Amino acid sequence: MQPKFKKSYKFAINTSLYITIYVTLLTSVFLYTFYSFNIRYVLLLAFSTYIFSFIVTQFRVERFIYKRVKKIYDDLTLLESTSITKGTITTDMKTLTEEIDKFARDKKIEIESLKVREQYRKEFLGNVSHELKTPLFTVQGYILTLLDGAMEDKNLREKYLERASKGVERLGYIVKDLDMITKLEVGDLSLNTEVFNIVELVKSVFDMLEMKASKKRITLTFDADYFTPVLVKADKERIQQVLANLIVNSIKYGREKGTTEVSIENLIKNKVIVRVTDNGEGIEKKDLSRIFERFYRVDKSGSRKEGGSGLGLSIVKHIIEAHREKIYVESEFGVGSEFSFTLEKAK
C-alpha cells in the first residue's frame, strides 16, 4: 500500500512571511519617498504577496523535496521489516532526520545482535562437536578393538565393554543436559512451584551423593543443626538438581578428606540464601567470570576424567534465573569455593 503523504506547512509559512515583510517594507519606503503613502494599498500588497509566496513555496518547493524524500522512503522499503515506511511520508526535515537516526540505531543494534548470535552459534556448535566427539571415538575404539579379536579374551572383553558403557553414559549426560538447557533458554520448561522444606531436600541430596563423596573421603555436612523446617517456594525437582550439581562439583574438585558444607540463612524478610562451601582447589580469578558458560571447564583435563557434560553450572544458573533469583560465586585458588543462591521464603 502506498504510504500517505503528510504535508508540512511550517517551512512555507515562515518563508512566505519573510518574503512578504521584505516586499512590503521595500514598497512602503518606495511609496513614501516618491508617492503618497496609503496603508490600505500596503496591506493589500502584503496580503497578495503572502498568498502568492505561500503557494509558490509550498507547492513548488514541496514537490522538489517530496521527490527526494520519497526516494529515501522507497529505498528503505527494500529492507525487510522497516517500521519507518509504515507511517506517513513527511517533508518535515526534523521529523525525517529523527526517523532516519532511529532507524539507523535500530539496525545497528540488530546487526550487532546478529553478530553476537552468529559467534555464539559457531562456538556452541564447536563445543557440542568437541564434547560429543570424545566419548563417541572412545566407544567406537573399544568396540572396534573387540570386533578385531579382543572379544575372545573374557577379561579384556568385560573391561572394554565397561569403558564403552561409560562413554555411552557420558553421551547420555550431554544429550540430556543439552535438551534441558535448550528448554530453559527458550522458556519451554515450566516450573512446578510448591512449598517445601529446603533442609530436608539438602539431606536427601546428601544421602544421594554419600557414596560418591566417600570415595574421596569428603564429609557432607550442614554448618549447624536445623531443628525447625526452612520453608521455601520453588520448583522442588529443579532446586534438587541445582543442589546436586553444586555438591557434585564440590566433590569433583574437592581435596581428599575435605568438607562440603551447606548453610541456609535468612537474607531479607522474604528471602533465604543457600550456600554450598568447600575447601577444595578453588577457582582462579581469570576463570570466575566464565564458569557459568556452556562447556567451560576450569580444569580442562581433570574434569573430563570425572565425567559430566560440562553444562552443569550453566543449567544451575538458568534454573535459578528462571525462578527470578540470583546465584553468586566466591572463590580463592588453593583455599576453596562458595556457591550461593537465593530462594523465596514461604509465607
- Kindly report, residue by residue over 99-116, the tens digit of the pLDDT: 777 777 877 887 887 777
Strands 231-235 and 336-345 come out as antiparallel
- Nearest C-alpha neighbor of 344 from the set 234, 222, 248, 247: 234
Task: Give pTM, 2 decimals.
Answer: 0.56
Query: Per-residue pLDDT for 153 more than 70?
Result: yes
Higher local confidence (pLDDT), 4 or 199: 199
What's the whole-number average pLDDT of the chain? Answer: 77
**Which of 255, 259, 292, 260 is CA-nearest to residue 275?**
260
Query: What pLDDT is recorded for position 314?
Result: 83
Question: 277-303, pLDDT tens digit by residue?
Answer: 998 888 888 878 778 876 666 654 444
Which range is least confidently modeled, 14-18, 199-203, 241-245, 270-274? 14-18
Q: What cell numbers appear for 86 in the block?
A: 509504515
Percent of the chain clearing pLDDT 90 (strictly above): 17
CB 230 within 8 A of CB 199: yes
Q: Is 91 exposed, middle or buried (0-12, 13-18, 19+ CB in 10 A)?
A: buried
